[in-house]
Amino acid sequence: MEDYKTSILKLIEENKRGTLDRNDLMKKLNLTGASEIADFDQALEELEDEMMIIRARGNCYMNREQYGIEVGVIHINRKGVGYVDRSGKPSIMIVSARMKDAMDGDVVAVHAESYHARYFDSISGTVLKVLKRAKSTLVGTYISTPNGPKLWPDEEKYRGFSVSMKEPEGFTPLPGMKVLTEINSYSNPLELTYLKTIGFKDDPGVDLLSILYDHDIDPEFPAEVIKEAEAIPQEVSEEEKENRTDLTQDITVTIDGDDSKDFDDAIPVVKDEDGWILKVSIADVSHYVTQNSALDEEALKRGTSNYIIDKVVPMLPQLLSNGICSLNPHVVRLTNTCEMKVDANGYITDYKVYPSYIRSTERMTYRNVNKIYNGEEEVRTQFANVVPMLEDLRDCADAIRRKRVAEGAIDFESDEPQIIVDETGKPLEIKVREHGHAEMIIEDCMIAANVSVANLMNRNDFPCIYRIHDEPNVKRLTNYAHMAYMLGHPFNVKNAISPKEIQRYLSANEDTPEYSVLSSQMLRCMSKAVYDAKCLGHFGLAEKEYLHFTSPIRRYPDLIVHRMLRRYYYENDFTHRDGDEEKMRRFAEHSSERERAADDAEYECEDMKKAEYMSDKIGVVFTGTITSVKNFGFYVTLPNTIEGMVRVESLFDGYYRYDESRMSLINDRSHVVYRVGDTIQVRVISASKQARAIEFGVVRQSGGKVREKTEPIKKGRKTRSRSARKSEQYGYQLNTRTRGRKQNGKSKKR
């Protein structure tokens, strides 16, 4: 079937636009048999359904490009206007009347038409078809109405729809009850069917569960998956050790967080006269999770483990993730090992990859390894058996990092929040998660192994899933350069910029007060790293070949890399090549989607807990940094990563105008200016757990900074509008027509 699809697309592309009909295609493919024609017709139908081809005038076919169709994700703002972003091109703007039943986040086929007269940076278009739904389920909460409880969608963007709810017989909805529903119709009204009750909105843990379910993340595994996991022995047999290298005599450690229970990487290192021999041994999850098994299908569906505040929703059942697949101390475990020869300058001069089995010597934590490196004698004595190896590991990893930095790898400053909650889920403390030497060492060793395995798979042209990261968008970098200039740290933008240039720029400004803003804003310029069946390189790491090999317990692409490694490299089996290449494309796309869902759920949970944490701190004063300025106000980030907005209406010392070129709010009368990078004192005005939003007010005595370079006040008659003069008179901003969207500056996984 796939062969027919490929052939049809090739013929349509090679021939003149809109000249081939069904009979023409059949003749060119020399189809005569009834079964051949049946398969051909099915392929043709599927291509039409996917809008890969379109039947035009005279029943002749065109491909997407010939017909002028673009495919992308539609993002719908609060005004109901949709935008489909395109790389290097203006966005396609779609008004509600031309949106069909597309919803926010759907993958749509769009016919781009002409430049929109009002919005010069976008063109108008029409949604032809929704190709993939972003959501098949919806979480809602029952609210009280005069006519009884009514379901109210938790997501604000769905609240403009009427809801038609199909409830099971005997079900009694109650106010405050949260339920998971299936979306049967995406038109207005939304037609929903009850699936399950999550709990009541104020019950402990229901807030996090609701967000998980809203992103199609199910904390529970199907019965058949659990049954399959229970059938797997929890000890390695002698038979399973056959054809594997015995590494049980190596001094090997796992290094993870204090609360970790799934250990999928272990490291021994030995120093020699030329440098080090570094072995990164990774749990061989593919040995237990076999292709097309219930475990495999569920792992594919989930795509990744989800780490939400103090909870983990694993990709695999805990019997595997914390049991036989986890490299627990003092027990034999099956692994795949990437053994690297690292010279004194950190270069990998040789490597080999092979199946193995290990016995971890110690389960180490980042905290204890950092104490060992800091010379704390009590901890060094406790783990005396592994201290010499850990010191060699530090020296080896440091050399690898120096080499990576010399070649241009970018290390962004990105603070990760650590949210500490009590047994009911109430946040007690929010602080920046520590990132010490031990964390850096593990990162460097994992990247080295990932690069080596990527080189092996790409050099041999084996079907595989790669981790790719495109270079940053020139328009974003241009805007960044303007901001950097306004902060006094000019950044030179070129049509093609290297990671080395970005790294040098950030390093040169590392000791300046504006560094945290420069680094975080540069991170926002970066493209999102995704998975792909092609090896296209990783810009941020300055690597031409990269993939994910080191976390098969928690990432499906890693599991697939292990499976392909065994099939094509260990066993030299090429019988599945055509099918595997198609699967790699499908798996890569799906894995990227599930990673985005996991990230979105994580960020929403963090934002909700941050708002809940600040809800009992109304009136408290904090010092923070302005990280973004818009015409409606500005955002302030506190040292513990909490972010809140200062609305322009709350600035009671006169009228402020927004100067986009300076990314500033300026009071021309007092010369007070609020701009990106300023340190400022703010008072908590409000915090809404439900809206996941925090609002600050400026502490009057600190205010903004008085600057000499604001535009001079004109002499003589005032020329500003009546509303502007009235704003000054009454001390508030009247013109608040535009509401912007909070920029998401979250750190992304490499």
Whether residue 43 is found in the same domain as residue 161: no
Whether residue 199 is found in the same domain as residue 119: no
User: Pick from 725, 705, 732, 727: which is nearest to 650 by CA?
Assistant: 732
User: Rounded CA gap, 422 and 436, in Å?
Assistant: 26
Whether residue 253 is found in the same domain as residue 308: yes
Residue 557 in domain: no
Residue 465 in domain: no
Whether residue 290 is found in the same domain as residue 380: yes
| DSSP one-letter code for 41 | H
Whether residue 12 is found in the same domain as residue 60: yes
Residue 595 in domain: no
Structure tokens at 558: 């890693």
* pLDDT given for residue 460 in this prediction: 97
| DSSP one-letter code for 464 | -
CB distance 648 to 665 below 8 Å:
yes
Last residue of a domain, one of 85, 115, 132: 132
Residue 393 in domain: yes
Residue 748 in domain: no
User: Rounded CA gap, 233 and 323, in Å?
Assistant: 10
Total domains, the chain: 6
The boundaries of the domain holding residue 53 are 2-65
**Per-residue burial over 179-210, b = 16 or more CB atoms within 10 Å of its CB, e = otherwise:** bbbebeebeeebbbebeeebbebeeeebbbbb
Residue 545 in domain: no
User: DSSP letters along 72-101, please?
Assistant: EEEEE-TTS-EEEEETTEEEEEE-GGG-TT
Whether residue 324 is found in the same domain as residue 343: yes
Q: What is the CATH number of the domain that holds 26?
A: 1.10.10.10
Give the global pTM. 0.85
* pLDDT given for residue 122 in this prediction: 63
User: Rounded CA gap, 78 and 743, in Å?
Assistant: 15
Whether residue 110 is found in the same domain as residue 144: no
Other CB atoms within a 10 A radius of the CB of residue 137 amount to 17
- 3 state SS of 417: strand
Last residue of a domain, one of 460, 491, 516: 460
Question: Averaged in consecutive runs of 10 residues, what is the pLDDT profile of the chain (750 residues)?
Answer: 80 83 87 86 88 87 87 84 80 88 89 59 84 91 91 84 90 94 89 95 93 93 96 96 96 94 95 95 97 96 94 94 96 98 97 98 96 96 96 97 93 84 94 92 97 98 96 84 86 83 90 85 88 95 96 97 98 90 93 94 95 96 92 94 94 87 86 90 95 91 48 35 33 32 40
User: Pick from 160, 158, 316, 308: which is nearest to 226 by CA?
Assistant: 316
Q: What is the CATH number of the domain that holds 182?
A: 2.40.50
Whether residue 391 is found in the same domain as residue 260: yes
- Give the N- to C-terminal CA distance of the chain in Å, as an integer: 36
Sequence-ordered list of residues with C-beta below 8 angstroms from that of 743, at least 6 positions apart, any chain: 524, 628, 635
User: Rounded CA gap, 380 and 375, in Å?
Assistant: 7
CA distances to 212, 215, 300 from 218, in Å: 7, 9, 13
Residue 210 in domain: no
* pLDDT given for residue 121 in this prediction: 54
Structure tokens at 492: 């030179």
Whether residue 48 is found in the same domain as residue 165: no
Q: What is the CATH number of the domain that holds 692?
A: 2.40.50.140
Residue 737 in domain: no
